Amino acid sequence: MYSAVIVEPRIHKALLFVLKNFLENLSNEWNIIIFHGNLNKRYIKSLIDNKLSQYKGRISLVNLNIDNLTREEYSRLFVSNKNFYRFIPTETFLVFQTDTMIFPPYKNLINNFLKYDYVGAPWPHDPRNNGHNVGNGGLSLRQKSKMLEIMDKEQEKNLPEDVFFSCTTEVELYKPSAEEAKLFSIENIFSDQTFGCHQPWRLKDELFHQYPETKKLTWLNDQLPNSYVKPIRIPIRIPYNNKRYIIIKRNPRSLLYANKRYSKFFPKKINYQISRPFMRTNLIRFR
């Protein structure tokens, strides 16, 4: 058995998309562990009960008892908190985030990397990495015993967690070459055959065409460039709590679902529990 781990204390609009993608494309040998916070506990339970109920047996929840995490706190959780690893029951585990996804045609490529201690998308050459060009942590496969060993031996812990683990000089890590790692994940260096990706908007010219779902993930992370947004104005009816329509507030990047939560952005004196026409509104369409 294997574990796939996500740390997400926010009510993030990409979370359902990402969880569904990983549950559908990882085999039943993989269980998902969601490390959540106080503020999104009910939200995540609702997602599981209403949207992911068929996968309930593969999902575990761990409350971090926090409201949010900065990037630095996220890294410290991985590099300094051994108690965190007690909740990961398997030696091999996959780390993923709300800006990652698996590409279904190549989902089985992960099996080629289970032998490694650490693998993530290759980085562009940077002398600061001391020749360690395989290591992006956003979507990464790791061996727990090696991570704990590095935590014991490495003294410099004020680093991004993926740099801390993948660039260690104190522990010998079995990692693939950068060319091999492209078959596992991509971030800045494109490969047309790969298990998954991190932050697909970095390679939007290639990925948006080959994998249209990466455009949706990009939008859910508020990273869709204005050039990919085509606003149009047409008269419509917006029923109460209808999520089929997306409203542009002012800036085309400020996208809001048309439901009661965001009714404060709607014209005043509208009864949102009754369907009624708006004179005009902006819809968003993707090219």
Ordered domains of the chain (ranges, CATH): 2-220 (3.90.550), 228-286 (no CATH)
Residue 139 predicted with pLDDT over 50 = yes
What percent of the chain shows pLDDT beyond 70?
A: 75
Tell me how far apart the alpha carbons of residues 281 and 240 are, in angstroms, rounded to a whole number.
15
Q: What's the pLDDT at 213?
A: 95
Write down the pTM of the prediction. Answer: 0.79
Tell me how far apart the alpha carbons of residues 151 and 143 are, in angstroms, rounded to a whole number.
13
* Order of strands, sheet of 185-186, starting from the edge strand that comes earlier in the sequence: 100-102, 196-198, 185-186
Q: What is the pLDDT of residues 213-265, one digit of tens each?
A: 999 999 999 887 655 554 444 334 444 444 444 443 333 333 333 344 444 44
**Residue indicated by tokens 């740390």:** 7
